[in-house]
Amino acid sequence: MNKKMIEVKNLCKDYHIVKKEEGLKGAVKGLFKSEKKTIEAVRHLDFTVDKGEIVGFIGPNGAGKSTTIKMMSGILTPSSGEILINGVDITKHRKEVVQNIGVVFGQRTQLNWDLRLGESFELLRHIYQIDRNEYEETLDVMDEILDIRKIIDKPVRQMSLGQRVKGDLVAAMLHSPDVLFLDEPTIGLDVSSKYALRKFIKEINKVKQTTVILTTHDLGDIEELCERLIIINHGKMMEDGNLVDIVDRIAPYKTLVVQYYDHENIPVHHSCEMIKTEGNMAWYRFMKADITAAALISELSEKKKILDVSIEEAGIDDIIRIAYGQ
């Protein structure tokens, strides 16, 4: 069933900032006169997200990802446009809507720094009015994936970053929200923490049908988690779609890497482009529509004896680079 969870309509956000001039002279001048500048952080975004989707927001720094996610989670008021979460306008009915969302910001925590983790959970239990049985059940589920009970008695200030982010994730999921917003959740984490975190996100998505919206710079996150990508740059939507589709559209080619027995007379082929050679190795880029890999290999092998081949897909990093560059 494709139930619409999030609807974003013609969303815009402007910031007004005061220009500051350099040096002592500029500082003194600023006391009497200052110029205002408007920055259009987000421009006319339109999209919908269905229940149970995991959507990755990617884009370079300052592209407007965080601004968008902050508007969707009720933190910022849009300059114009509309955001409906489960059919309800978050700008107009903040308290009602946020009962149904969870938010984790990688760089900051909502946990009480000085007390044991459990106290922060207890406060959230009261804030979201979760009854004790339900709370224990949710915690059991979390414990299975994240071993959260092991650290529940530890003061937050003594935790490693990985443990703290785990704590924040559980805190955001205690009230079983339908939507989870994650702003760079894996930033600064070690490999095993990243792994645990991704496992957690996939698991709750599967078990609880939680819709997940995340921003990230981590290619691993995108590869492992996101079925759908929304690429934003300069506040505008650049791409929106299935990861595979985007790859096919932006980079509809593969690269065939061929190792010959020697480096003499390395052949070319009319339906592909040889992008580089190195000793007895050669890289051929070919469009999927033009020729199949099998055909290319057999045709090349007729020209020169081949020792080994491998095929490189266009990487996500290529996609992102191309998308950002537009």
Partner 1 sequence: MFGKFLKELWHYIDVTICNIKMALMMIIEYPANLAGWMISNPIQFILGFATIKFVVEQFGEINGWNYGQLAFLYGLSVISHALSMIFFVQGWFMGWFVIEGDFDRYLTRPLGVMYQFFFTNINIFGITDLIPGICVFIYGCVKSGFEWSILKAIAIIVMLIGATLIRGGIYIMLGTTSFFTKSPMDFGQYTQEIVDKTTMYPISMYPESMQFVLTYLIPIGWVSFYPVSGLLGIGDSSYFGTSAAFMTLLVGLIVMLVAGAFFRLGLKGYESAGN
Partner 2 sequence: MKLKGLSKYLYVYKTQIIRCFTYKFEVYGNILMQSIIMITSAFFWRALYRTGNPVAGVDVEGMLTYIIISAMMSVLLITNVERRIENSVQKGTIAMDMMKPLNIFGIYLVEDLGSITALVFQNLLPIFLVGSLLVKVPTICSTEHIPLFAISMLMSFFINWLIAALFGMWSFTAVNVDALIQVKKHLIRLLSGSIIPMWFFPDWFRNILEALPFVYIYQLPLDIYIGKSSGDELAGMMMIQFVWLIILLIAFAYVARRATKKVLVQGG
Query: Which residues of this chain interact with partner 1, rule CB under 8 A?
Result: 15, 41, 62, 66-67, 70, 73-77, 94-96, 98-99, 101, 103, 105, 108, 110, 112, 114-115, 119, 122-123, 126-129
From the list 28-36, 111-119, 212-220, 301-309, the region that binds partner 2 by CB under 8 A is 28-36
148 vs 2: CA distance, rounded Å: 32
Among 239, 273, 237, which residue's Cα sits nearest to residue 256? 273
**7, 14, 30, 176: residue in contact with partner 2 (rule CB under 8 A):** 30
Q: What is the radius of gyration, based on Cα positions, of the chain?
A: 25
61 vs 265: CA distance, rounded Å: 46
Among 159, 174, 94, 80, which residue's Cα sits nearest to residue 127? 174
Sheet with 253-260, side-by-side order of all strands:
273-278, 281-287, 253-260, 306-313
Interaction partner, residue 27 (partner 1, partner 2, none; CB < 5-8 Å by kind): partner 2
Strands 80-85, 306-313: parallel, antiparallel or unpaired by DSSP? Answer: unpaired
Interaction partner, residue 20 (partner 1, partner 2, none; CB < 5-8 Å by kind): partner 2
Site membership for partner 2, residue 24 (CB under 8 A):
yes
Shortest separation between residue 107's beta carbon and partner 2, angstroms: 17
**1, 31, 191, 294: residue in contact with partner 2 (rule CB under 8 A):** 31
Write the CA distances from 149 to 164, 235, 299, integer angstroms.
13, 41, 60
- The residues, ordered by sequence, that sit 6+ positions from 115 with a Cβ below 8 Å of its Cβ are 155, 156
Count, residues near partner 2 per rule CB under 8 A = 8
Q: How many CB atoms are closer than 10 A to CB 44? A: 14
From the list 16-24, 80-88, 282-290, 291-299, the region that binds partner 2 by CB under 8 A is 16-24
Shortest separation between residue 15's beta carbon and partner 1, angstroms: 6
Strand partners, 47: 8
Interaction partner, residue 323 (partner 1, partner 2, none; CB < 5-8 Å by kind): none
Interaction partner, residue 23 (partner 2, partner 1, none; CB < 5-8 Å by kind): partner 2
Site membership for partner 2, residue 295 (CB under 8 A):
no
Taking the least distance from each CB to partner 2, the nearer of 23 and 325 is 23
Using CB under 8 A, list all residues that contact partner 2.
Answer: 20, 23-24, 27-28, 30-31, 34
